[in-house]
Amino acid sequence: MSHPQQLIKKYTAIKTLPHVVTRLSKLINNENSTMKDFEDVIKTDPTLVVRLLRMVNSPFFGIRQPVDSISRAVAYIGMKNLQNIAVTDALKNIFKEERKSDVFSRKRLWLHCAAVSICSLMVAERIFGIDGDDAYLCGILHDFGLIVEEQVAEKPFLEACRACGATGSLPAYERQFLDTDHCEVGYLLTQDWGMPSAIQEAIRDHHTAAEDTDPTSLTGILQISEYIVGQFDYTPISGAKPQLSPSLTAHLQDNIDEFAVLIDDFPDEMRKTMEIYGS
């Protein structure tokens, strides 16, 4: 068993994503799933029911008549959006358990992941005109490996964070102190959770500065979004410096006007989402 697999085994012995999240993921990937299947899973999580109904009745959807049934709510927002709500809610609860540290804050990590997920959705839909559900899911999950490392290998993890503060290169120091990094841990976790392969690969590669990264790929969207939110200081660790593949730098430069509008709109989109999920 490899070292990252050992970390995951230790972590899942303590805590993992709620069963409702993994069950929803399996339903989404099963073409024979019915609306009743989704409703039966959602009913097992009262908090998720409240969040779902709160979201679908928010001004964002502009529905005139209040929605008070799970099946109607899912019909309005879509099954993939439902999965994103469930994952976001689960991660928020995991991230809020704070341990005192001079270099790492779960709240800061939560805000970073929320910001990247919102920005990824915006980049996918506004810049590339493609569905943003998977991009959002990548954004909210991409740094979950950091939580695993912090919980089961706290001392070497914090040493890596301290070293990162001087240079901004966290994965390099994770490999030095932990013999793995959060990208690899996250990749293996999303395999276990049955996430689509494109999401797995984007999480694995989101710190890899390759020469030919396609801007429209989930990896490209994730890297671009990390770079943008970094300009707002939504970084997982103070001093972290997100890297951009050369092809993505060129893409940003070639489309600077479109991205300037997106960047102007980002704070308001962040505020609206935080009103639903809380900061």
Q: At what angle do helices 46-56 and 256-277 cross, to 10 degrees?
A: 130
C-alpha 277/C-alpha 92 separation (Å) is 8
Are the beta carbons of 95 and 246 closer than 8 angstroms? Answer: no
Q: Round the average pLDDT of the chain to a whole number and report it.
A: 85
First to last CA, the chain: 37
**What are the tokens at 118?**
């919102």
C-alpha 209/C-alpha 8 separation (Å) is 26
Average pLDDT of span 168-193: 90
C-alpha 116/C-alpha 226 separation (Å) is 6
The better pLDDT of the pair 3, 156 is held by 156
Residues 185-242: pLDDT tens digits?
999 988 887 788 999 999 999 998 888 899 999 999 999 999 999 999 999 888 777 7
**What are the tokens at 115?**
């910001």
Q: What pLDDT does 16 receive?
A: 59
Residue 100: HSE in the Cβ half-sphere, 13 Å Cα cutoff: 0
Residue 102: HSE in the Cβ half-sphere, 13 Å Cα cutoff: 6
Q: In this structure, is the dihedral angle defined by the CA atoms of residues 29, 183, 256 and 212, taken in order, positive or negative?
A: negative
Q: Residue 15 pLDDT more than 80?
A: no
C-alpha 237/C-alpha 197 separation (Å) is 27
What are phi and psi for residue 142, nearest 5 degrees? Answer: -60, -30
Instruction: Kindly indicate the confidence band of residue 156, based on its pLDDT and cuts at 50, 70 and 90.
Output: very high
Domain count for the chain, please give it: 1
The better pLDDT of the pair 38, 233 is held by 233
C-alpha 177/C-alpha 13 separation (Å) is 22
Q: Residue 95's domain is classified under what CATH number?
A: 1.10.3210.10
Q: What pLDDT does 56 receive?
A: 80
Domain extent at residue 57: 3-277
Are the beta carbons of 71 and 105 closer than 8 angstroms? Answer: no
Closest C-alpha among 231, 219, 228 to residue 255 = 228
C-alpha 59/C-alpha 75 separation (Å) is 17
Residues 71-130: pLDDT tens digits?
888 887 787 777 787 788 777 777 776 667 888 998 899 899 999 999 999 999 999 999
Are the beta carbons of 88 and 114 closer than 8 angstroms? Answer: yes
Say what percent of the chain tops pLDDT 70: 92
Q: Residue 138 pLDDT more than 90?
A: yes
Q: Residue 278 pLDDT more than 80?
A: no
Say what percent of the chain tops pLDDT 90: 42
Q: Which of 31-35, 40-44, 165-169, 214-218 has the lowest mean pLDDT?
A: 165-169
C-alpha 204/C-alpha 213 separation (Å) is 13
Amino acid letter for position 178 = L
Are the beta carbons of 205 and 218 closer than 8 angstroms? Answer: no
Question: What single-letter DSSP state applies at residue 214?
Answer: -
C-alpha 210/C-alpha 248 separation (Å) is 10
Are the beta carbons of 23 and 45 closer than 8 angstroms? Answer: no
